[in-house]
Structure 1
């Protein structure tokens, strides 16, 4: 009985340590991301149509910077696509090539979320994104409610969107 309690205590301790390390890592990688009111996010989608974050004001929006060459982004893409079925999502393909190349990648991966093209990385610089993936949750007022860089879980992003409601 005592060894069972010790084992439970060790597991609890190890889980707590892992969560603290993960939280510290999230804080460290996200500390330089833009906060407060959102910078402008205006450009063209993959079909050449104008697309803007301002068009989505009044509801929570997931703004997701990603790249076709990023392996972590590839892991997240399915989650971003699933979230886009229920919530406003504006994804920014940064330094990922031409619209045709990004469109081909999305077709190959079966992705359907709306994408702003950021061929030169200018939009990423405006948002102080130094690496991808970087994700922001924007609340109804147009302020950044949460920002994170690196892998994010679908459940975590959904919780942040719920919180931004």
Structure 2
């Protein structure tokens, strides 16, 4: 015997019962599929909105930062204690690398920079990175900061903010991706993800001379 809606049926109606049950199951499955499809479309849409918002936000935040040929980078160069060279005075050539490099502006007093620093240290394992310490005190203070934060990169001390202003940087953290030809390809302002910085560095290398 088969029960449809709680009513026993004759054997000759068993097939009709099975068909009706199958139709209900198919309808439920179809409805679930429509719900999942709608949710997927919404997730994709929200993702695109976030990507566009992030792009426009970064574009607005970096609107005053320089592009093209970077200004000169000279001054007191500070190295962590574990790196030979200590503190010297000189000029760094941003076009001296055969691969993309990152110019990282930070400050000792900047809380967001403390979150950004581990990302920069990871990037420095694969790409050249030069730091610029904006209004962060003397060489000793900067060196202690580098040691405490695990930043193993050369840093140009910018006590007056002169270098930062020449790059249009009025807030930190900020970063510039410089191509192998020495031209600025991309810039960021505020916290930047490791994936975002790595993708920009990769694109700068793939693009070739500007």
Decide which of 50, 53, 63 is 2:92's aligned counterpart: 53
Q: Which residue of 2 aligns with 1:16?
A: 48
How far off is 1:110 after superposition? 2.0
Structure with higher Rg: it is: 2
Long gaps (5+) in structure 1: none
User: What is the aligned residue count?
Assistant: 165
The higher relative CO (CA closer than 8 Å, separation ≥ 6) is in 1
Evaluate the alpha carbon distance shift between residue 131 and residue 55 of structure 1 in structure 2; reply closer, same or farther with a 3 A threshold: closer
Q: Which residue of 2 aligns with 1:77?
A: 117
Long gaps (5+) in structure 2: 1-32, 79-85, 206-210
Decide which of 31, 35, 42 is 2:74's aligned counterpart: 42
How far off is 1:127 after superposition? 0.9
Q: Does 1:25 align with 2:57?
A: yes
Q: In structure 2, how many angstroms separate the alpha carbons of the residues matched to 1:30 and 1:163?
A: 19
Q: In structure 2, how many angstroms separate the alpha carbons of the residues matched to 1:37 and 1:90?
A: 16
Give the 5 Å matches for 1:1-165. 1-46=33-78, 47-54=86-93, 57-59=96-98, 60-165=100-205
Deviations 1:121-147 (A, max 9, x none): 111011111111111011122111111
Deviations 1:30-70 (A, max 9, x none): 11100111110111222321343316524322111111111
- Given the two structures, how large is their TM-score scaled by the length of structure 2? 0.74
Q: In structure 1, how many angstroms separate the alpha carbons of the residues matched to 2:94 and 2:66?
A: 20
Evaluate the alpha carbon distance shift between residue 51 and residue 138 of structure 1 in structure 2; reply closer, same or farther with a 3 A threshold: farther
Does the 8 Å contact 1:56/1:88 carry over to 2?
no
